[in-house]
Amino acid sequence: MTSDRTGEGNLRRVVAAVLADDTAERREAALLELTAADLEAVMHARFETAGAALARGLGASPGAAVGAVYFTAADAADAADRGEAVILVRNETTPADVHGMMVAAGLLTTRGGLVSHAALVARGWGTPAVVGAEAIVIDGRTFAVGDVVVSEGDVISIDGSSGEVTLGERGTASTGLPEEFFTALGWADEVRRDRLAVRANADTAADAAKARELGADGIGLCRTEHMFLSPDRLPIMRAMILARTPEDERAALAELGDVQEVDFAAILAAMDGLPVTVRLLDPPLHEFLPAVLDLEMKRAADGLSPEEQRELDAAREWAEHNPMIGTRGVRLAVLKPGLYAMQVRALLAAARSVRADGGHPIVEIMVPLTVSRPELALVRSWVAAEVAELSLSQVDQADITIGTMIETPRAALRAGELAHDADFFSFGTNDLTQLTFGFSRDDVERRMMPAYLEHGLLASNPFDTIDTDGVGELVREGTRRGRATKPELRVGVCGEHGGDPASIRLFLDAGLDSVSCSPYRVPVARLAAAQAVIERQNGPG
């Protein structure tokens, strides 16, 4: 029997035992007996048959996937159009790969860790993914592991839980969600709902609907950049970046605003009556441009069109040595102030139209990467100007709040100051971990992390489970300092740790109001939050 089947059996047995003699105490005992693995066993397709692993990476997004390998997003998209099941194989993915990732049955990367782009996107969509499978060497349209060569179109199987990659097709079994799943989570909600809300990180109306189905209490992080990456949106974003005159920039921004308003309205409608935290644009601009190297190679091979030459110039201009600590987040907004104003305008207009249709949108506008109060105050003034411009009624305004992510050690230390201009905080523990340790989230999980874990230099991967003594201390202290200024300050977390059971315990103890994680982790987070509440009330005090 596989462990997945054991998980399903556990779930059925534990719930049935309570139903035979249902009391509040027995429900709580049952919740403590269940594990994340029990829930995950019924949520994702699994392999029925064993296979000899060709390679191993990190299981970054659970589930079993079988498909033909393709090595570029464009080839993956073409194969999916022909009806093929596809496994997209890349060294690592970037936002430019999103259209191929979207259609893939599974993702396999040779580099990167649990918070790499591929891992984050896959978990958000519930797509099985194995990342950092270092033994795999990609060469054009083939990959090799030792002597074994796998070519484009060959079928492989990947297990996003164990990280195993197998040659050929392994039989899968997908399970419908059993009644016991909903029963147990209903019990969990009764215990934790007033103590710790569980929201989802969702960027589209489809994600929002999925999150709601899986029991999310709202959206804790809508990463708006994903709205600009689809093939129909990217050219408008590039037109904004390449604009030579303020008029051209304004025109591109207006066009972006129109598409974004439609997206926001759909998300707010899908989450009607529940809070939606929309994060203003965060990534550095070069992520929306083709890679410098690709354009240089094309120039050498076939030459560039004038448009491509301008893209190359812009890509060079925006390239940075350390983009993750460069011109991104609110810093980018300071350089291109029209950007946030456009996003806020689109969001407010969307909220207004949802309300006009009889809905009740609850909007939280969130500023990324803030490090000081003046930065936050500046963005707040832009939002206030847009609110005034749209002449929103008092009723509409009551449902619009403004807050900041706490993603840098400085922001956590200066939380008392930031709280003056924030209605809420959300700890971005992916960046906060990266910046507290000085561990590049895109690089260290590949080589350094396994060695550190092996030598016992770290108890666990801090990108997976929150580092209690360092990053956890900043979360506790940031919350305390923020609330010292503003006792009613709402505080949440929206890094990947929001879906990790051990981290959820720390967030509850730190006094957070909510956690937010990928939609497919919401059930596990609901269970873990209930367990943390029960353990705390049973604990020594």
Footprint of Mg ion (CB under 5 A): 407, 428, 431
DSSP 292: H
Nearer to Mg ion, 330 or 524 (CB): 330
Of 109 and 183, the one with the shorter C-beta distance to ligand PEP is 109
Question: Nearest approach, Cβ of 428 to Mg ion (angstroms)?
Answer: 4
Shortest Cβ 433–ligand PEP spacing (Å): 8
The span of 147-155, 299-307, 429-437, 463-471 binding ligand PEP (CB under 6 A) equals 429-437
| CB of 248 closer than 8 Å to CB of 333 | no
When binding is defined by CB under 6 A, the residue of 93, 110, 430, 461 that contacts ligand PEP is: 430
Interaction between residue 89 and ligand PEP (CB under 6 A)? no
The nearest distance, CB 34 to ligand PEP, in angstroms, is 27
> Which string of DSSP letters, residue by residue, matches 377-441?
HHHHHHHHHHHHHTT--HHHHHTEEEEEEE-SHHHHHTHHHHGGG-SEEEE-HHHHHHHHHT--T
Amino acid at 235: P
- Footprint (CB under 6 A) of ligand PEP, residues 468-527: 494-495
**If binding is defined by CB under 6 A, does position 431 make contact with ligand PEP?**
yes
Closest CA to 108 of 49, 61, 171, 41: 61
Q: CA-to-CA distance for 221 and 282, rounded, in angstroms? A: 12
Catalytic residues: 117, 494
Q: Which among Mg ion, ligand PEP, none contacts residue 114 (Cβ within 5 to 8 A by kind)?
A: none
DSSP 209: H
Residue 160 CA from chain centroid, whole number: 17
Quick one: which of 403, 428, 499, 523 contacts ligand PEP (CB under 6 A)?
428
Contacted by 150, from ligand PEP, Mg ion, none: CB < 5 to 8 Å by type = none
In the bound state with ligand PEP, the residue whose beta carbon lies nearer, of 222 and 400, is 222
Q: Is residue 429 involved in binding ligand PEP (CB under 6 A)?
A: yes
Q: What is the DSSP string of 245-276?
A: SHHHHHHHHHHHHHHHHHHHHHHHHHTTTSEE
C-beta closer to ligand PEP: residue 143 or 507: 507
121 scored as a contact of ligand PEP (CB under 6 A): no
Could you say whether residue 224 binds ligand PEP (CB under 6 A)?
A: no
Contact assessment for residue 38 and residue 10, using Cβ atoms and an 8 Å cutoff: yes
Pairing of strands 362-367, 275-279: parallel
Nearest to 101 by CA among 263, 231, 282, 279: 231
To the nearest whole angstrom, how small is the minimum distance from the Cβ of residue 222 to ligand PEP? 11
Report the site for ligand PEP in 396-415 (rule: CB under 6 A): 407
Residues 135, 62 contacting (CB under 8 angstroms): no
- For ligand PEP, the closer of residues 375 and 431 by Cβ is 431
Least CB distance to ligand PEP at residue 427 (A): 7
Please say which residue, 45 or 369, places its beta carbon nearer to Mg ion.
369
Q: Which helix (H) or strand (E) holds 365?
A: strand 362-367
Q: Among the candidate windows 37-45, 48-56, 330-338, 426-434, which touches ligand PEP by CB under 6 A?
A: 426-434
CA distances from 156 to 121, 139, 166 (A): 21, 17, 6
Only one of the segments 133-141, 208-216, 427-435, 532-540 lies at the binding site for ligand PEP (rule: CB under 6 A); that segment is 427-435
Report in angstroms how near the CB of residue 221 gets to ligand PEP at its nearest. 6
For Mg ion, the closer of residues 386 and 431 by Cβ is 431
Shortest Cβ 279–ligand PEP spacing (Å): 7
Residue whose pair of structure tokens reads 């709902």 in the numeric block: 193
Binding residues among 256-275 for ligand PEP as defined by CB under 6 A: none
**Of 62, 119, 68, 67, nearest to 92 (Cα)?**
119
Considering only residues 190 through 219, tell me which ones interact with ligand PEP, judged by CB under 6 A: none
- Taking alpha carbons only, the member of 119, 201, 126 closest to residue 163 is 119
By CB under 6 A, name the one of 34, 69, 188, 221 that touches ligand PEP. 221
- What single DSSP character describes residue 492? E
**Interatomic CA distance for residues 375 and 363, integer angstroms:** 21
Shortest distance (Å) from residue 430 CB to ligand PEP: 3
List interacting residues with ligand PEP (CB under 6 A): 221, 223, 282, 407, 428-431, 494-495
